[in-house]
Amino acid sequence: KVGSVDDDTSARLIRRFYDIGIYPDWWKLEPFRTEAAWANACAAITENDPHVRGIVVLGLDAPEAELAESFALAARQPLVRGFAVGRTIFAQAARDWLARRVADEMAVADMAA
């Protein structure tokens, strides 16, 4: 993040995308930390696009405990359909493999564990 973020930041950005004619089928959004941020983002989407398929929540390499809190909030939102948390699960194994600190087999085993 480059600037300050509040409960309406993502909603403003979502509205801006719609204003310039971008209508994604799916929104990939960061894991918000407040009910207000979720409500604002979902309102921005539903007000502009009745045909949106939904929201996928990104993990962004966040710790599992932090994601659990955010996912509890996200699960209450009707537009949220799923999540993508690959880095949260296997980021360290990938970093070790890319730095050649572990062999292919060890990285695969670590990611599969």
pLDDT (tens digit, 9 = 90+) per residue, 6-63? 999 999 999 999 999 999 999 999 888 899 999 999 999 999 999 999 999 988 777 7
Q: Encode 18-44: b = buried (16+ Cβ within 10 Å), e = exposed.
A: eeeeeeeeebebbbbeeeebbbbbbeb
Which domain does 99 fall in, by range?
9-112
Q: How far apart are CA 35 and CA 104, in angstroms?
A: 42
Average pLDDT score over residue span 74-94 = 83
pLDDT of residue 79: 97
User: Does residue 74 sit within a domain?
Assistant: yes
Task: Work out how many domains the chain is built from and give that number.
Answer: 1
User: Does residue 2 sit within a domain?
Assistant: no
User: Does residue 1 sit within a domain?
Assistant: no
